[in-house]
Structure 1
Amino acid sequence: MYNFDISPNRKGTSSVKWDLTKTVFGREDVLPMWVADMDFPPPPEVIDTLNDRVSHGIFGYTFTGDPLGNAVSSWMKERHDWEIKKSWLLYSSGIVPAIATIIRAFTEKGDSILMHSPVYTPFFSLAEKNDREVKKSPLQLKDGQYTIDFEAFEETLKSGVKIFLLCSPHNPGGRVWKEDELIKMAELCQKYNVLIVSDEIHADLVHKPNKHLPISSIKKEYEDFIITLAAPSKTFNIAGLQASAMIIPNQKLREKVSEEQQKQGIFTLNTFGVIGMEAAYLHGGEWLDSLLDYLADNIKEVKSFVEKELPELSVMDPEATYLLWIDFRKLGKPEQELQDLLLNKGKLALEPGSKFGQDGEGFFRMNIACTRETLKDGLERLKKALT
């Protein structure tokens, strides 16, 4: 029903992914497989809803009312078996702005913020730019997957931490944290009175047989100290609509976040963010299931190619996301030399691992949410760069 082998030409659309390669990588003639957005149009129902709104022709002030709250709530129940109340919801233009708001609401300059490493780049930058201290709990590689060193995690919590930023599922490693891991993290943070901010933007992009479990949903008591961040942006490729949700069951926490938003003059979402998010959550389920099947085949394509053509590389098996974390360390080359080969010999733009923290050095992240034709082109460029 849905054809993911066709993708519109995105050049000339102010696309960060396609139109900023000269700015980010120093050259325009590279195939961009870096920043985390897809080359697929969103579900047809989303496009139809946006077109209808454009045809209406008036774009006055818009509010986030019950229809949007109902759509978010029903999605969480349907996809993640999590019953949330509409009253728990606050909205933000994106998860990164939401994290910044939360940091400013619950910490002061000099306070410590904990995160795993490697991890999504803005976790580090948001803490640093707000003059907070970054504390890292490095992940450990075990049997080809990242695991948590809970002893080190607790020691860091003991040293004094205000907020723990959790990436669940994990970016860039693609781990879907299991229930026992989530419980250990939650109970340690509860023990040391640490607020958990759980970025669950990749929650819908989980590959079978894995299942995402919202950390706040595990035990009722966890609702008191966890803020969950969700968005349709990665799931349905509508990041440009700038709409996300903060799920905050604890009223006092919710009021404090709302107060900080008001200080910043943040009161609502843009018109297209409201209707795009609502349409995606109401009508996007079947499209998403088809997308996940396509992405699963893309992952198989990459793993098969690398095993056959580039056996010195190792692809971490992703339990979620459309981002592959590839280990280049056996090549024995520094990251800058590898980046030079990728860009100037292979004409391929990937995300260097150091961008995700020092613990990511030796890895590159590849976005495989593209047509099979584009993917095969990218793999041949990768081979050309390294051979």
Structure 2
Amino acid sequence: MVSRFDEIIERRQTGAVKWDSRKEVFGTEDVLPLWVADMDFACPPEVVDAIVKKAQHPVYGYPKQPVELFEAIQGWLKRRFDAEVPKEWLGTIPGVVPGIRMAVETFTKPGDKIVIQTPVYPPFYSSVEDLGRHLIKNPLKENDGYYTMDFEDLERKIDAKTKMLILCHPHNPIGRVWTKEELMQLAEICRKHGVIIVSDEIHSDLVYEKGAHTPFYTLPEELSQQSISFIAGSKTFNLAGLFSSIVISNNTKILDEFKSTSAKFGLNSINLFGLEAMIAAYTHGDTWLDELLEYLKGNADYISNFLKTRIPEIKMRVPEATYLGWLDFRALNLSGQALRDFVIKEARLGLNDGDSFGVEGQGFQRINFACPRSILEEAMERLEAAVKKLQS
């Protein structure tokens, strides 16, 4: 059966970073780009229709935040996570990474310590270090490609200067969906030490097991009150270029402080078209997302099975969430630059270097499998041919 996600949409020469930056990033345009975390799929038609309708009005002035936006978000969170979220818990921010930076600016000061759990999304590092805070790494524990939190290490590293932990939930790049029990243990440690948790939940809609994701703000109040969370339609509905995200906290003092800091930096408004896109997506996007999740899970299974049967030297555990695979190349015994050269020059693939996620990512590459299956098939065949050549 043909899926809407099988359609190949030409993105070259559209200003897309993923496709039109290949020369600058990889030194050649002769790579299949499977790196930047946006999808090669069309947005839901209701989103396109909403943006086109808004664009047809010839005045693009300052937009207010319509009540329909918050109603759409509340309805979405109730349907997808059975979460009752009052409007008073919600705010807007033009992007999750700007939101994380605003949280760092709001709740910490230069010299304070901030914990991240590595390997992790590179902007977590820069959001701490660029603002003059001290980075503390709490590396995840790996067992045959499966990662868990190291709570003992976390307890050892927290001291009086530790003010924040930035949580990737679900986790990028390893694809874990943290269980409620893991989250509660983490929250209890941070509560005990007065550490605020910033929960990046940008991938929370892209979870393959229904009901597996526990939004941090739904934990018991004594554990969730010391937290602030971010969601967005950017990954879910392929809206990254509209720079529109949502901030959530059940602690009105924390949320008010965050909003005040965001306003000081001029980040308290979001894009006119982003507003329309989010209203449409969070109102009408359920069926489209359910179809997308089935397709993405099929792509992940395809990669995993291909590697097991045809390139067993490379491994990938099927992620629990996201459209990002964490490829383990360590059995090939290639160093950082040698691995990068192999992937680009021999396999002709544009992936993310694992060590950009931290030293714990050495020997890994991250693959974005949010693309038509035919492109993924071509990618795997290129990789297989490159490994055979390496071993010949």
- Normalised by the length of structure 2, the TM-score is 0.96
Amino acid at match of 1:367: N
Report the alpha carbon displacement of residue 209 of structure 1 after superposing the two structures with TM.
5.8
Matches within 5 A, 1:134-149: 134-149=135-150
Shift of 1:159: 5.8
Give the aligned residue type for 1:85. Answer: P
- How does 1:328-347 map onto structure 2 within 5 Å? 328-347=329-348
Give 1:174 deviation, angstroms.
0.2
SS in 1 for 2:202: coil
Q: Which moved more, 1:26-35 or 1:262-271?
A: 262-271
Does residue 352 of the first structure (1) align with residue 353 of the second (2)? yes
Partners in 1 of 2:162 and 2:317 — Cα distance? 30
Q: Choose 227-236 or 19-28, whichever is displaced more.
A: 19-28
Are 2:385 and 1:366 equivalent residues in the alignment? Answer: no
Question: 1:26: how far off?
Answer: 1.4
The residue number in structure 2 matching 1:296 is 297
- Per mean C-alpha deviation after superposition, the further-off stretch among 220-229 and 237-246 is 220-229
Please say if 1:324 is aligned against 2:325.
Answer: yes
* Whole-Å separation in 2 of the counterparts to 1:164 and 1:121: 15
CA distance in 1, matches of 2:379, 2:109: 45
Tell me the matched-pair count.
387
| Post-superposition offset of 1:89 | 1.2
| Aligned position for 1:190 | 191
Q: Deviations over 1:46-80 (max 9, x none)?
A: 00111111112221110112110111111111101
Structure 1 residues 108-117 or 375-384, which shifts more?
375-384
Q: Give the structure 2 partner of residue 309 of structure 1.
A: 310
Question: Cα offset for 1:386?
Answer: 2.1
Amino acid at match of 1:262: A
Q: State whether residues 2 and 287 of structure 1, in contact with CA within 8 Å, keep that contact through their aligned partners in structure 2.
A: no
Residue correspondence of structure 1 range 1-387 to structure 2 within 5 A: 3-158=4-159, 160-208=161-209, 211-387=212-388
Query: Could you tell me whether the CA contact under 8 Å between 1:33 and 1:367 is conserved in 2?
Result: yes
Contact 1:144 1:317 in 2 (8 A): no
Secondary structure of 1:315's match?
coil
Q: 1: distance between equivalents of 2:60 and 2:3? A: 31
Alignment partners' CA distance in 1, 2:304 and 2:194: 42
**Aligned mates of 1:357, 1:194 — CA distance in 2:** 23
The Cα shift of 1:345 comes to 1.6
Q: Find the residue that maps to 1:269 and give its secondary structure.
A: coil
Whole-angstrom distance in 1 between the partners of 2:202 and 2:55:
27
Aligned-partner Cα distance in 2 for 1:267–1:92: 6
Does the 8 Å CA contact 2:187/2:224 hold for their aligned counterparts? no
Distance of 1:78 and 1:52 partners within structure 2: 27
TM-fit CA distance, 1:335: 1.9
Q: Kindly state the Cα deviation for residue 129 of structure 1 after the two structures are TM-superposed.
A: 0.6
1:252 CA drift (Å): 1.2
Judge conservation of contact 2:94–2:267 (CA < 8 Å) in 1.
no
Counterpart of 1:152 in structure 2: which amino acid?
D
**Partner SS, residue 114 of structure 1:** strand
Change (3 A) 1:34 1:210: farther
Amino acid at match of 2:51: L
CA distance in 2, matches of 1:159, 1:312: 45
Answer yes or no: is the 8 Å Cα contact 2:184–2:223 preserved in 1: no
> In structure 1, how many angstroms separate the alpha carbons of the residues matched to 2:93 and 2:87?
15
Q: Report the Cα distance in structure 1 between the residues aligned to 2:26 and 2:94, rounded to whole angstroms.
A: 27
**SS across alignment from 2:91:** strand
Structure 2, unmatched stretches of 5+, are none
Write out per-residue CA displacement over residues 279-305 of structure 1, whole angstroms, 9 at most, x where no aligned residue: 110000100000011111111111111
| Equivalent position SS for 1:205 | coil
Q: Secondary structure at the match of 2:197?
A: strand
Q: 1:149 to 1:159 in 2, by over 3 A?
A: farther
Whether the 8 Å contact between 2:119 and 2:139 is mirrored in structure 1 is: yes
Q: Which amino acid aligns with 2:176?
A: R
Q: Which residue identity lines up with residue 275 of structure 1 in the other structure?
A: E
How far did 1:2 drift?
Answer: 5.5
Letter in 2 for 1:148: M
Deviation at 1:210, TM superposition (A): 6.4
Deviates more, 1:132-141 or 1:142-151: 142-151
Take 1:20 and 1:28, find their aligned partners in 2: how far apart are those partners? 8
- Gaps spanning 5+ residues in structure 1: where? none
